[in-house]
């Protein structure tokens, strides 16, 4: 499992996790598409913005390996702002390649792209 050095482990001052410390010995948690409801709590919204900002700052528009990124957090973005980068994408692999859909991410989280 690739560890993304420099990627924040969580949203500062909260318990919203962005990365995992070690591979799951029982098996990889698959990435699944989760629907975000309009009535999400403000803290959840801040975590979404913080995670997208961290993804963009670390990887930009380039494909990146899932590695130690938290599957639960990625699942809130999967299928919309974060897409599979290859045709043979395996949602249950730490080696799976993902890519940010910049136009969708900017539309959904404009505050994550502010300088």
* Cα separation, 15 vs 17, whole angstroms: 6
Average pLDDT over every residue of 52-60: 94
> Do the domain assignments include residue 72?
yes
Domain extent, residue 63, equals 42-113
Task: Please give the average per-residue pLDDT across 21-34, as a whole number.
Answer: 88
Q: Return the pLDDT at 115.
A: 65
Number of domains making up the chain:
1
Q: How many CB atoms lie within 10 A of CB 60?
A: 11
Position 28 in a domain = no
| Three-state helix/strand/coil letters over the chain | CCCCCCCCCECCCCCCECECCCCCCCCCCCCCCCCCCCCCCHHHHHHHHHHHHHHHHHHCCCCEECCCECHHHHHCCECCCEEECCCCCCCCCCCCEEEECHHHHHHHCHHHHCC
| Cα–Cα dist 19/31, whole Å | 14
Query: Has residue 11 got a pLDDT over 90?
Result: no
- Average pLDDT on 98-112 reads 95
Percent above pLDDT 70 for the chain: 99
pTM: 0.90
Residue 21: pLDDT band (50, 70, 90) is confident
27 in a domain, yes or no?
Answer: no
């Amino acid at each position: 499992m690739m560890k993304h050095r420099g990627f924040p482990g969580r949203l500062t001052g909260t318990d919203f996790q962005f990365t995992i410390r070690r591979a799951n010995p029982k098996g990889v948690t698959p990435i699944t598409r989760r629907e975000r409801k309009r009535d999400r709590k403000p803290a959840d919204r801040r975590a979404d913005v913080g995670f997208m900002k961290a993804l963009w700052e670390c990887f930009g528009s380039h494909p990146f390996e899932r590695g130690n990124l938290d599957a639960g957090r990625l699942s809130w973005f999967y299928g919309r702002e974060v897409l599979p980068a290859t045709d043979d994408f395996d949602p249950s692999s730490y080696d799976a390649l993902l890519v940010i859909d910049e136009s969708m991410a900017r539309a959904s989280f404009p505050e994550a792209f502010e300088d």
